[in-house]
Amino acid sequence: MWRVLETKTASKVLDRAPLDVRQKWTLWLAIVRQSGPVGLHAISGFRDEALTGQWAGFRASRLSLGTRVIYRVHRDVLEVHVVKVTAQHDYRRR
């Protein structure tokens, strides 16, 4: 079983997100808690991918055509840290 931790910013964005994004988030959470990020690869709709550049070491999954969840995996304690939920390809760090 994996633990999923999310930043306050990510929580706020998800709280205000459209219903379809929140539903996909619920599915994303269930998959990650049960199988970890490997489970996301079984569902092509998430288009889970490793990021590069300033986001090297992070991953992104698609929650809708215009929304991504950005996260990092901490394997030593089986945690997934959700750091940002953002518009598609808006990966600027703050």
Residue 18 pairs in a beta bridge with none
> Tell me: the pLDDT tens digits for 42-54?
888 999 999 999 8
CB burial of 13-26 (b: ≥16 within 10 Å; e: otherwise) equals bbeebeeebeebbe
Confidence of residue 79 (pLDDT cuts 50, 70, 90): low
The whole-model pTM stands at: 0.83
* Residue bearing tokens 């079983």: 1
